Each structure stands twice: as C-alpha cells, then as structure tokens.
Amino acid sequence: MAAITLDINGKKHDLDIDPKMPLLWAIRDVVGLKGTKFGCGMAQCGACTVHMNGHPTRSCVLPVQSVVGSKITTIEGIGTEENLHPVQKAWIDEQVPQCGYCQSGQIMAAAALLKDKPTPTDADITSAMQGHICRCGTYDRIRKAIHTAAKSKSPKGEMSGGK
Amino acid sequence: MSNRRTFLKTLGLSSASFVLGVSSFAKGNAVVNMTTDPLSLALEINPFIVIQPSGQITLINPRPDMGQGSTQAVPSLLAEELEVSLDQVTIAQSDGKGKYGNQTSGGSSSVRALWTPIRQAGAAAKEMLIKAAAQRWSVPESECYVEKAKVIHRPSGKSLTYGEVADDASKLEIPKNPKLKDAKDFKIIGKYAPRLDVPARVTGKAVYGIDVEVPGMVYAVMLHSPMIHGKVVSIDDSEALKIKGVQKVLKCERPMPHRTSEAVAIIADNYWAALSAKKAVKVQWDNGTLGQTLTTAAYFKKCAEAATKEGLKAEEEGDFAATFGAAAKKLEAVYETPFLAHAPMEPENAIAHIKDDGTAEVWAPIQGPDWALRDLAGYLKIKPEQIKINVALLGGAFGRKAYHDFLLEACFLSKDVKKPVKLVWTREDDITQGPYRPGMMARMQGGVDAKGNIVAYHHHPIGESIQFQVFKAPSNKPDDWVCGELSQKEQKYNIPAFKISYTHVPTEIPIVWWRSVYASNFGFSQEGFFDELAHAANKDPLKARLELMSDARFKKVLETLAEKANWGEKLPAGQGKGIAIFKSFGSISACCVTVAKQGTGVKIEKVVSVIDCGHYVNPDNVKAQTEGNIVMGITAAVKKGITFTNGQSDHTNFHQYQVMRMNEMPKVEIHIVESGAEPGGVGEPGLPPIAPALANAVFAATGKRIRRLPFDLNTLA
C-alpha cells in the first residue's frame, strides 16, 4: 500500500492503494466512477479505455503508480446528459448502443481520434477503433457516428460541448 | 381496492400510488391473478401499470434488457394503447415473482409474448380512466377521449390528468375485452423513436450488474477447475493470504444444471486484491480421466460415428428411403459446427447476500429473474418469498446470463462469509468454463430425380441436447428444440420425401442456448446442403428454393432479397454470391453474402439481410438487432470456435478467442418486409442464414464447398 494521488477528470484523489493496482480498479472500485468498464483484463477489448493526458489508454493493464502526475479523463469527464460531448451526441443521433457496455471505451477512443484528426477518413476510423470489441456488433453505427460527430464541429474547428 | 393496495406494497412502490388496470390477459381478471400465491412460478404473464397521483406512469417490465431493446419495446406497447408518450412511462424491472409470469428475455420472445397482453393492459387502463372521468363529470363516456395522459371532455373541452382520476379508476371493474387500436392508427408501434436509455449508456451512467455495490460487501474471484470438473485435492493459500486485503481462501462449488463442480474462491476487501491472490493460490486438482475424456475431438469422433448410422426418426413425409434410393443423383454430406462461447462484454457477475434470518437478496445481470428465483429457491432450499431479486442492466448476454452458475456461486460464498459477496468472473473464467453453444454435427442426404427435381431430403442432427443436459430431458427421443424448427412445417420446403432424425451424443462440456440456439448450427447444414442440391439439380439456388416453396411470406422474403441484393447480376471475375433462408423464433430471415477472391481466400464484400418479423415496434431496432446478428453470425463462421484439448479449453481470452472487429466489417444492408403478420422475434432470426450464405458465396466464387465451421477466410481451410 502506498499513498497515491490520481488526477481524474480534473479532481485530485488521494488514495492508499497497492501501487500495482491497475488504474481501472482504482477508478471503478476506489474512486467509484463506474462508467469505465472491465472487459478482458489484458488490453484486448478496449472497454476500459480512458484518456491519459489526452491519449486513449487501456486502464486495465496500467498500474496506478505509472499514472501519477498524469491527467486522467474518464467517460464521466467528457460530457454529461445535460452537456453532451459531440461524440456522445452523435452516438445518440445514430442510436449506436445496444447493450452499451463497450461504448464508454469506444467513445473515449473516438473522442481522442477526432481531437487528432477532426475529419477522419474511413481508414483513420478503422485504425483507431479496431482495438475495440463490441459483441452486439455496432461497428457500422460507430463509424457513422464518428463521421456525424466530425461534421458537428463548430466553425472554428473546435469540438463543441463537454468540458 | 384493498387487494390492489396490497399489490402495491409488494411492489415496494409508494403507497400513495394506485395500481390500475392491468391486466387483461389470460383470465381477464387482474385481481385474481395479482393475488395469486407468489409461490406459484407458473402463471400467465401479468405485468402491471401503476399510475401515481403525480401522473407518473410506471410499467413493471417483465423482460430484462441485455441490449435487445426491451426497455423501449415493452413500454411502447403500453404507451400506444394508453395514449401517452414514451417519456411519460417509467420502467421498473420485475423481480421474478410468479405474479409477473414469464420474465425471461430469451427465445426472441419479448414482443411476441407481450404484444397482446401489454396492449390490452394499456387499453383496459385507458377505458377505466375514461369511465372514472366521465362519472366525475356526470357525462357520457362517449363524449370523452384521451390524449397525452389526459381525459378530455370533447363538448366542454375540460380535462383531467390520468393522475387526477387514477384513484377513482382503480376502483372500477377491469374491462375483460378492452378495445385495441387498429394497426393503421398506431402512433408509436412500427415507427422510429430514439431509445430513451441511450443517453445513460453513452455517459457512463447506466448501471450494469458489475456496477452495483451494496453496503458491507466483500469481493470474490473464483479459481475454477481448469478441466471444469476436477476435484480439489489441496489448497496452498500461504502466499495469497499475505496480500493485503485478502480475507479468505476457501473451497467452494460451481453448481451447474448437470452437475456441481468443485472450485476455490478468494474473498478480499477489494477486487484487485482478490485477483492478485488468485495468481498466488496453489491448488492441486484431481482431474481423473478428464484429460482424455473432456476433449472436443473425442466428442466429434462419437458424432462422426453416429453419422454413419440411422438416428431416431423425428419426422418423415413421404418415403425417404424409397425416394432417395430411386433418385438419379444422390448426395450425402456431413456438416459440422463448433462449440462457441457467448463472451458478452460484461463478464458474469453477481452480488448475493444470504442473511442471518435465512432470507436472501441478490443483485445480478440476469436474463430471467423468474428462472433465477426458481434456481435460487432450489439451491438455497428456501421459499421464493424469502428471496429478493434485483435485476441490473446486462452488458450483453446472448443466452449466457440465463444460466445461473455464477449467481449460485455467489450465494455459496455469502453463506460462508455471512456478508454480501460481489463475485466477478474474469474473461478467462467466461471463455474457459462455459457453458457453450454446443458443437453439433449433421448428416445430410438428398436426392434429385432425372428431371432435375429435388425429391428427397434427410437432415440428421447429431450431438448434445440442451434439454438433456440442462433440464434432464430423456435421451431416448428426438430433441424437439433441435428437430422442431427443422420441420417441413416450419421451413416450408415442399420436398416430397422429407425426413428429420436425431442422435443424442452426450458430453460433460457444459452447454446452453446461444443466440438463436440450434438454428445457429442447423441453419448452416440445411441451407448449405440445399445449395448443394440446387447445384446438383443444375438450378439457380434462389429459383430452386422458390420452386419448392408455396408459402407467400417465404416467397416474398426471397423475392425481396433477390431484388435488394441484385441477385442474378453479372459479377466481376472472382466474385460470388450465396444465399440462405431460415425461419426461427417466428420470423423469416434470408441473406445474400457477396465475397471476392483474395489471395488464397476470400474477402466478404457485402451482406444484404431481409427479415419478415411481422409487426415490430421500432424499425431501427430491428435493423440494429440484425446488424448484430450479421456480426455475430460471421464471427461464428470464421473465427476460432471453442476447442478442448486434454481436458482444457484451448483459448482463454480475446487474444485467442477472437471475434470480429471493425476492420473486418463488410458493407451491410438490411430490409424489413412489411407483412403485418403477428409479431415474430427480432433478436435472433437474422443470425442463422449468415454462415450458410457465406459458405455458399465461397462456393460460388471459388468452387470450394465449406461444410465445417469455422473456416479461415484467408485459406478456406
């Protein structure tokens, strides 16, 4: 056990946990943010994806000691029902989720993609998203929703909404 | 009235609200049904509506949502007849008690089963609300109508909200035959509407089973027997107990329907500690002869032996032996489909709290709280009314979460530690432990006469029976889950000599229903072999089917497919198209797959799927479910199945048990045939035609006949 300070969604959390605990379990079971999901525990499915300093990262294999000092953003940190991130809004517009369990990770990956490439090609989307498994089979809608989100940018080229 | 107030209490809702109307159905008398002893687990469906004075309308939804959309479909049926909008209906999940009847999401049954009763419930409630308002105003009911949760008096324009008349209405007789709307007047059913549960699912706020926490709970992980049924000889927990947070390591059990296996569990105050301890615990297992017996190769060897013999006859039209014997061309083939894991994205999990007073409470993502109640009562040897079930959202299920081993494991552990226990399976547990879609074999025989007519057909499924393993059904007669849907009555091939047989080959590998159940196995053999017969008869595969089918709905589905998929167009060199049609769960689905040669294999270019599911609720959800069926159907055809070598699953996680990903998505098109027939299923029927259409396309493009799944798209092996 050790004192570990995590910066999650702009808030500092002082935790006394095993430094080897994967970030996923610290987020879910210690900090109590349940939107980030456990799917495989070996970075194969993408359900646990969060942003580390803006980059999509698999939290299920990332020890908390390695993220001290980094800014972590989870699905709860990019938008809310009242103030949706454009990617979340596009996910609603295209009715992407079925069970929805993998979608937090999918949305985090898509949001990071659009930050890097505001108007991604189909190849860009495939490359960014193929690490994510959806057993309900929503891949086509995910692709559509990313294009929809790309079109929803403000004239300045910034993603609107969310914080 | 007093009865209705009693129900309310059992529901746990505010006593200031009023149960209304509701039922309909079977006996036409809600009061009788609602007061039936909750011990009884075999009642007709009897959900109900609660309208509070605030106007809030609550539907007790008897079908858990695993992604198939029941939280939209079921309230839509109610809202349509009650004349309210979907956002005015609050949904509570039923808890398994007998008064709600069948509550299992499975068999693509939610809309099919609830189509009439829920609409009748809404219509009855509406009539009662009108009557109550009319009485209060002393005006004829005929002068009143409803709109947007209000009763309105047409001549005067005055109105009362449903909430304002709910109490009066709840005292009225429930109409036995409420008038249902004509389909042409539907405002919600059959129309697109966004699912109201989606915003929660995209913001991380939806609460799945794995997200539930209860006060005082501890975490548990299972250390299952690698050979599933091995016995625990010894446990060395000395290293595990040194890990901070680990409370206990204990021998426990995994109760499955066909047998209970020994297991070990780790209890800890957080999940990570328990997981870490799992790696540190050393268990010696006595595997007996499982290394030799628990293998898929041994099982399929027995199936192959059975394929050389006659099975138990399930059905015969005409004289198969004579017709086949006299046929000008005789075809024989063996088809094979593998064991498959469901692998829902949310692993199996449950919280159980067995309390000091002997009562139990559970929280879990389960498909059927009614089945769970039966299983829990049987396992814990307590009465159903001593059990409270809380159903959370399911992060996928595909059949897996209507099998309650994980739930009973949590009960065993809670009984031992006397605390609420939250058990979460790892992905490795999910993939290595089963239960699985059974691997099956099919022996096919068919004959074509001298004129090129397909005159004889024999479909002989071989393999383990879910009804035998899960429900202890007798082994000495054909499994009707297997044979029933392959019947000529179901599949509509008017072949003069038509025979279905079955041979049961048991296995100790746990099996259970998987999306579309046996249709996922035998849709492949039926439609793959039919393609062979069509080619033997020198006929176009689509025309050969149309020639043999007289059923208007089947024909319409095939004709729609031919048009939408441009069947018959001249294809570029190296491309091929294949089709298949299969009826399952009350719906007819056909698809056309286009493949293109690529290196030593093929690439899937396009899938066009057509479904006639009769009346449906939301066309977008029909499409979404069919999209899912295409993805899962292709995965089942071309990704590795579950194999057991030396008693153990050869795959442990998604790096080995691979599933289709976005980069493998073909173009997909879905078309709904508007038949206006009684509702059929939507969650499963799109799947069975996928694999055979793909295999038939491979044949068209390459000449290679695929009879065994899975096959490798890159090598066709």
Q: Kindly determine whether residue B203 and residue A76, on different chains, have CB atoms separated by under 8 Å.
A: yes
Asked if B215 reaches chain A (Cβ–Cβ under 8 Å), the answer is no
Q: Which two structure tokens, joined as six digits, stand for B130?
A: 């009108």
Q: Which residue of B has its CA nearest to A33?
A: B204
Q: Which residue of A has its CA nearest to B660?
A: A133
CB B516 within 8 A of CB B688: yes
CB B75 within 8 A of CB B86: yes
**Residue B713, domain member (yes or no):** no
Per-residue model confidence as pLDDT tens digits over B227-256: 999 999 999 999 999 999 999 999 999 999
CA distance A86 to B22: 41
Nearest-by-Cβ selection for A97 from B198, B271, B427 = B198
Looking at the fold, whether B100 and B197 belong to one and the same domain comes out as: yes
CA distance B121 to B30: 10
Final residue before a domain boundary, out of B402, B424, B446? B424
Q: Please measure the distance between the N-terminal and C-terminal CA atoms of chain A and give it in whole angstroms.
A: 33
Q: Kindly determine whether residue A139 and residue B345, on different chains, have CB atoms separated by under 8 Å.
A: no
Looking at the fold, whether B531 and B505 belong to one and the same domain comes out as: yes
- Give pLDDT, residue B55: 83
Q: Which residue of B has its CA nearest to A141?
A: B624
Q: Classify residue B172 by burial, with Cβ atoms within 10 Å: 0-12, 13-18, 19+.
A: middle
CB A46 within 8 A of CB A107: no
Domain count, chain B: 3
Q: Kindly determine whether residue A95 and residue B194, on different chains, have CB atoms separated by under 8 Å.
A: yes
Per-residue model confidence as pLDDT tens digits over B382-403: 999 999 999 999 999 999 999 9
Picking from B6, B169, B183, B148, the residue whose alpha carbon sits closest to that of residue B77 is B183
Q: Kindly determine whether residue B396 and residue A92, on different chains, have CB atoms separated by under 8 Å.
A: no
CA distance A46 to A104: 9
Looking at the fold, whether B519 and B544 belong to one and the same domain comes out as: yes
CA distance B23 to B97: 16
Measure in Å the smallest separation between the Cα of A157 and chain B Cα atoms: 23
**Residue B707, domain member (yes or no):** no
CB-side neighbour CA atoms (13 Å) of B614: 14
**CATH number of the CATH domain containing B221:** 3.30.365.10
The structural architecture, per CATH, of the domain A2-76 is: Roll (3.10)
What's the residue count for chain A? 163
Stated as kind and residue range, the H or E segment containing B649 is: strand B648-649
CA distance B700 to B679: 34
Q: Is A123 left (phi over 0), alpha (psi -120 to 50) or beta?
A: alpha
Coil, helix or strand at residue B58: strand
Q: Kindly determine whether residue B204 and residue A33, on different chains, have CB atoms separated by under 8 Å.
A: yes
List Cα–Cα distances, A23 to A50, A68, A78, in angstroms. Answer: 9, 10, 18
Coil, helix or strand at residue B163: helix
Q: Kindly determine whether residue B427 and residue A36, on different chains, have CB atoms separated by under 8 Å.
A: no
Output b/e per residue, B553-570; b: 16+ Cβ within 10 A.
Answer: bbebbbbbbbeebebeee
Residue B204 predicted with pLDDT over 50 = yes
Asked if A51 reaches chain B (Cβ–Cβ under 8 Å), the answer is no
Query: What distance lies between CA B608 and its chain's CA centroid?
Result: 23
Q: How many CB atoms sit inside 10 A of residue A123's CB? A: 9
Give me the sign of the Cα torsion angle B607, B613, B615, B620. negative
**Residue B717, domain member (yes or no):** no
Asked if A47 reaches chain B (Cβ–Cβ under 8 Å), the answer is yes
CA distance B610 to B615: 15
Looking at the fold, whether B278 and B370 belong to one and the same domain comes out as: yes
Residue B563 predicted with pLDDT over 70 = yes
Output b/e per residue, B501-537; b: 16+ Cβ within 10 A.
Answer: bbbbbebbbbbbbbbbbbbbbbbbbbbbbbbbbbbbb
| β-pairing verdict for B454-463 and B497-504 | parallel
At B151, phi and psi to the nearest 5? -100, 130
Looking at the fold, whether B213 and B197 belong to one and the same domain comes out as: no
Looking at the fold, whether B126 and B166 belong to one and the same domain comes out as: yes
Per-residue model confidence as pLDDT tens digits over B395-426: 999 999 999 999 999 999 999 999 999 999 99
- Give pLDDT, residue B167: 84
Nearest-by-Cβ selection for B345 from A21, A81, A135 = A135
Look up residue B634 and give its DSSP letter.
H
Residues of A in contact with B275 (CB under 8 A): 41
Residue A83 predicted with pLDDT over 90 = yes
Q: Which residue of B has its CA nearest to A123?
A: B663
Asked if B276 reaches chain A (Cβ–Cβ under 8 Å), the answer is yes
Measure in Å the smallest separation between the Cα of B604 and chain A Cα atoms: 15
Residue B101 predicted with pLDDT over 60 = yes
**Residue B712, domain member (yes or no):** no
**Residue B247, domain member (yes or no):** yes
Residues of B in contact with A41 (CB under 8 A): 275, 426-427, 653
Residue B28 predicted with pLDDT over 50 = no
- Give pLDDT, residue B99: 78
Picking from B500, B59, B462, B127, the residue whose alpha carbon sits closest to that of residue B313 is B500
Q: Kindly determine whether residue B205 and residue A81, on different chains, have CB atoms separated by under 8 Å.
A: yes
Per-residue model confidence as pLDDT tens digits over B512-547: 999 999 999 999 999 999 999 999 999 999 999 999
Beta strands in B85-174 (DSSP E): 89-93, 144-147, 150-153, 159-161
Nearest-by-Cβ selection for B272 from A22, A92, A101 = A22
CB A109 within 8 A of CB A45: no
Look up residue B179 and give its DSSP letter.
P
Residues of B in contact with A142 (CB under 8 A): 662
Final residue before a domain boundary, out of B169, B203, B237? B203
Stated as kind and residue range, the H or E segment containing B699 is: helix B690-702
CA distance B392 to B182: 35
- B151 band by pLDDT with thresholds 50, 70 and 90: very high
Looking at the fold, whether B262 and B307 belong to one and the same domain comes out as: no
CATH topology of domain A86-150: DNA polymerase; domain 1 (1.10.150)
Looking at the fold, whether B325 and B375 belong to one and the same domain comes out as: no
- Note down the domain range covering B236: 209-290+348-424
Q: Kindly determine whether residue B663 and residue A92, on different chains, have CB atoms separated by under 8 Å.
A: no
Helices then strands (H, E): number in chain B? 21, 27
Residues of B in contact with A111 (CB under 8 A): none
At B85, phi and psi to the nearest 5? -90, 160
Which of A61, A76, A99 to mutate to probe the B interface, most B CBs <10 Å?
A99
Look up residue B210 and give its DSSP letter.
G
CB-side neighbour CA atoms (13 Å) of B202: 32
Rounded percentage of chain A residues whose pLDDT exceeds 90: 92
Coil, helix or strand at residue B697: helix
What's the residue count for chain B? 717
- B47 band by pLDDT with thresholds 50, 70 and 90: low
Q: Which residue of B has its CA nearest to A36?
A: B204
Looking at the fold, whether B523 and B594 belong to one and the same domain comes out as: yes
Q: Which residue of B has its CA nearest to A93?
A: B194
**Residue B715, domain member (yes or no):** no
List Cα–Cα distances, B66 to B105, B398, B571, B593, in angstroms. Answer: 8, 8, 40, 28
CB A110 within 8 A of CB A143: no
Query: What distance lies between CA B532 and its chain's CA centroid?
Result: 30
Looking at the fold, whether B149 and B191 belong to one and the same domain comes out as: yes
| β-pairing verdict for B329-337 and B667-672 | unpaired
What are the start-end ranges of the H helices in B340-426? Answer: 369-380, 405-417
List Cα–Cα distances, B416 to B267, B362, B405, in angstroms. Answer: 10, 15, 17
Asked if A74 reaches chain B (Cβ–Cβ under 8 Å), the answer is yes
Residues of B in contact with A88 (CB under 8 A): 199, 202-203
Give me the sign of the Cα torsion angle B8, B13, B17, B23. negative
CA distance B651 to B232: 23
Nearest-by-Cβ selection for A92 from B66, B199, B273 = B199
Q: Kindly determine whether residue B427 and residue A39, on different chains, have CB atoms separated by under 8 Å.
A: yes
CA distance B422 to A34: 15
Per-residue model confidence as pLDDT tens digits over B263-275: 999 999 999 999 9
CB B508 within 8 A of CB B522: no
- B168 band by pLDDT with thresholds 50, 70 and 90: confident
CA distance A20 to B155: 74
CA distance B641 to B622: 27
Asked if B628 reaches chain A (Cβ–Cβ under 8 Å), the answer is yes
Per-residue model confidence as pLDDT tens digits over B442-473: 999 999 999 999 999 999 999 999 999 999 99
Looking at the fold, whether B246 and B320 belong to one and the same domain comes out as: no
Looking at the fold, whether B307 and B392 belong to one and the same domain comes out as: no
Asked if B346 reaches chain A (Cβ–Cβ under 8 Å), the answer is yes
Q: Which two structure tokens, joined as six digits, stand for B35?
A: 């007061």
- B36 band by pLDDT with thresholds 50, 70 and 90: very low
Look up residue A29 and give its DSSP letter.
I
Q: Kindly determine whether residue A100 and residue B202, on different chains, have CB atoms separated by under 8 Å.
A: yes
Look up residue B252 and give its DSSP letter.
E
Give me the sign of the Cα torsion angle B412, B417, B419, B422. negative
Coil, helix or strand at residue B370: helix
Per-residue model confidence as pLDDT tens digits over B620-676: 999 999 999 999 999 999 999 999 999 999 999 999 999 999 999 999 999 999 999
Per-residue model confidence as pLDDT tens digits over B308-351: 999 999 999 999 999 999 999 999 999 999 999 999 999 999 99
- B42 band by pLDDT with thresholds 50, 70 and 90: very low
Surface of B (603-622) touching A: CB under 8 A: 620
Output b/e per residue, B193-203; b: 16+ Cβ within 10 A.
Answer: bebebbbbbbb
- Give pLDDT, residue B97: 87
**Residue B110, domain member (yes or no):** yes
CB A34 within 8 A of CB B204: yes
Asked if A161 reaches chain B (Cβ–Cβ under 8 Å), the answer is no
pLDDT mean over B569-587: 97
Q: Kindly determine whether residue B663 and residue A130, on different chains, have CB atoms separated by under 8 Å.
A: yes
Picking from B596, B585, B594, B659, the residue whose alpha carbon sits closest to that of residue B626 is B585
Q: Kindly determine whether residue B276 and residue A18, on different chains, have CB atoms separated by under 8 Å.
A: yes
What are the start-end ranges of the H helices in B43-109? Answer: 70-82
Look up residue B600 and give its DSSP letter.
T
CB B294 within 8 A of CB B229: yes
Which of B428, B604, B662, B664 to mutate to probe the A interface, most A CBs <10 Å?
B662
CB-side neighbour CA atoms (13 Å) of B360: 30
- At residue B260, what is the residue type? T
Helices then strands (H, E): number in chain A? 6, 5
Q: Which residue of B has its CA nearest to A84?
A: B203
Residues 6+ apart with CB under 8 A from B703: none
Final residue before a domain boundary, out of B150, B184, B203? B203
Beta strands in B320-478 (DSSP E): 329-337, 349-354, 360-364, 387-391, 421-424, 440-448, 454-463
CB A113 within 8 A of CB A124: yes
Q: Kindly determine whether residue B204 and residue A18, on different chains, have CB atoms separated by under 8 Å.
A: no
* Domain ranges, ordered by start, for chain A: 2-76, 86-150
Per-residue model confidence as pLDDT tens digits over A12-70: 999 999 999 999 999 999 999 999 999 999 999 999 999 999 999 999 999 999 999 99
Measure in Å the smallest separation between the Cα of A137 and chain B Cα atoms: 4
CA distance A19 to A1: 7
